[in-house]
Amino acid sequence: MSEIEIIHTDKAPAPAGHYSQATVANGFVFIAGQLPLLPDRTLRADAPFEEQVRLTMSNMLAILAAAGSAPDKLVRVTAYIVGVDHWPRFNAVYAQMLPDARPARTVVPVAELHHGCLVEIDAIGVV
C-alpha cells in the first residue's frame, strides 16, 4: 500500500473543514473542491461569474503546483456551476486559463453551492 501525502499551500485557501487541499497517492494528486476564495479565505461569492471561475481555477492550479504537478498533467476536472446558462462563460475562462491542457472534464449544472458561490472545481492530476 502506498503512502498518502497531504498537500498544503498558503497560495490557496486553507480547508474550512475536516479535509485537505489535496492528497497525493500512487502518482496521482487529488484536489479537493475549490470555491472562489482568496488565499486568506475571503469569500468572493459577490464577484462576477468569470472572476469567480478565475479565482477558483487559480486556487486549483496553486494546489496542483504545490503537489509538484502542472496544468499539462491534469487528467480530470469536474466543475459545478450554478445554472446551465453560465456554461459558455465557464468554458471561455477555462480555455483561457488552460490553453494547452485538455484533461477529461465534466461540467455539472447545480441549483446552488455553499456560501452562495457560482462555481466549485475539483481535479485529479499526475505528479
Distance CA 47, CA 126 (A): 31
**Percent of the chain whose pLDDT exceeds 70:** 99
pLDDT at site 2? 74
The CATH number of whichever domain residue 91 belongs to comes to 3.30.1330.40
**Percent of the chain whose pLDDT exceeds 90:** 98
Distance CA 107, CA 114 (A): 17
A 10 A CB-CB count for 26 gives 10
Amino acid found at 9: T
A 10 A CB-CB count for 114 gives 11
CB contact at 8 A, 70 and 64:
yes
Per-residue model confidence as pLDDT tens digits over 34-74: 999 999 999 999 999 999 999 999 999 999 999 999 999 99
Range of the domain at 13: 5-126
Distance CA 93, CA 67 (A): 23
| Domains of the chain: total | 1
Per-residue model confidence as pLDDT tens digits over 70-91: 999 999 999 999 999 999 999 9
Tell me which residue of 84, 99, 94 sits closest to 123, measured CA to CA: 94
Predicted confidence (pLDDT) at residue 1 exceeds the cutoff of 80: no
Residue with cell 489535496: 22
